[in-house]
Amino acid sequence: MLIDSHCHLQHFELDERRAALARARERGVEGFLIPAVRLAEADDLLAFCDSEPGVWCALGVHPHDAASWAPGDERRLRELFAHPKAVAVGECGLDFFYDHAPREAQERVFRAQIEVALEAGLPVVVHNRDSNDAMLAILEDPAYAGLAVDLHSFAGGLDMARRAIPLGCWFGISGMVTFPKADNVREVLPELPRDRLLVETDTPYLAPVPHRGKRNEPAYVVEVADRLAAELRQAPDALRDLTTANFHRLFGRTQEPAA
């Protein structure tokens, strides 16, 4: 059994979502976490999660959309977590590569969502691109001690990893681990705590070798997990069990029976 801890299936048409789930299940992928990128997606995502076993969502606002954050969104987000299949806050964070929203707004909206996560006792699914220093400054804020963080599609490098590990962060390993030039992604792997490793596709982006350049989908998390196992010199089955157990420990609500 294997779990794709980060797949944006909301970008697929409904019949394509179900077909992608079926192809993944055929390969032993039984769990799926779909991170929202804006609050307007929440109702659709929750309805989809309700219709499928083993499918959960994170709810939040991506840094690209931080400028859309409106008064009342914090309360709306808090209310949405009454739903048992909403298991994390996110995808939220910082993106200083694209800078689609002003950096000040990105930081403010990220902090607002961290507050919701702490209040609700939920983890945050974090996007971070070209923003290591600002990200660490926020995560190292003593007010956020105890926050559970999934650094999704981690590509932050050794220095970032060494500061994120003592904070208790978790690390989402994506298809980048298979890219020939991604030594920066692979070199950190031996240093990451095994009990805080997750695997993900980041569907529809970052398709792993040998699917590179195609639309990614959750079935390809098998290639991600197999490469991670090889890098760590672990048996593929052991790595599947490990990352599945890790997923349920971080996203504690996924252990509850579906309502």
- Give the nearest distance from C-beta 149 to Zn ion in angstroms: 14
Minimum distance, C-beta of residue 71 to Zn ion, in the bound complex (Å) = 26
Task: Give Cβ neighbours of residue 114 (< 8 Å, ≥ 6 apart).
Answer: 89, 92, 124, 138, 144, 147
The maximal CA–CA distance of the chain, rounded, in angstroms, is 49
Query: What's the closest the beta carbon of residue 124 comes to Zn ion, in angstroms?
Result: 13
Stretch near Zn ion under the rule CB under 5 A, chosen from 84-92, 111-119, 226-234, 237-245: 84-92
- Token duo for residue 17: 């979502």
Stretch that binds Zn ion, among 91-99, 110-118, 184-192, 213-221 (CB under 5 A): 91-99
Contact 133, 94 (CB under 8 A): no
* Closer to Zn ion by Cβ: residue 33 or 197: 33
Residue (125 or 138) nearer to Zn ion, CB: 125
Dig out the tokens for 88 from the structure.
């994390």
Minimum distance, C-beta of residue 8 to Zn ion, in the bound complex (Å): 6
Q: Judge whether 17 and 234 are in contact, CB under 8 Å.
A: no
Size of the site for Zn ion (CB under 5 A): 1
Smallest gap, in angstroms, from Cβ of residue 206 to Zn ion? 9
Residue 202 Cβ vs Zn ion, minimum distance, rounded to whole Å: 5
Contact 81, 59 (CB under 8 A): yes
Which span sits near Zn ion by CB under 5 A: 89-97, 163-171, 212-220, 227-235? 89-97
Nearer to Zn ion by Cβ, of 150 and 229: the residue is: 150
Query: How many C-alpha atoms does 186 have within 13 Å on its Cβ side?
Result: 18
Contact (Cβ atoms closer than 8 angstroms) between residue 208 and residue 231 = no
What residues form DSSP beta bridges with 57?
34, 86
AA identity, residue 250: L
Angle at CA of residue 222, ends 220 and 225, nearest 5°: 120
Q: Tell me how far, at minimum, the Cβ of 182 lies from Zn ion, in Å.
A: 17
Contact 39, 63 (CB under 8 A): no
Nearest residue to Zn ion, scored by beta-carbon proximity: 91
Pairwise CA distance, residues 149 & 88, whole Å: 10
Is the Cβ of residue 41 or residue 91 nearer to Zn ion in the bound state?
Answer: 91
Give the range of 83-91, 95-103, 132-140, 211-219 binding Zn ion by CB under 5 A: 83-91
Q: From 88-96, 185-193, 216-224, 248-256, give the range in contact with Zn ion by CB under 5 A.
A: 88-96
Give whichever of 204 and 236 is closer to Zn ion, judged by the CB atom: 204
63 prior amide bond cis, ω within 30: no
Where on the chain is the footprint of Zn ion (CB under 5 A)? 91
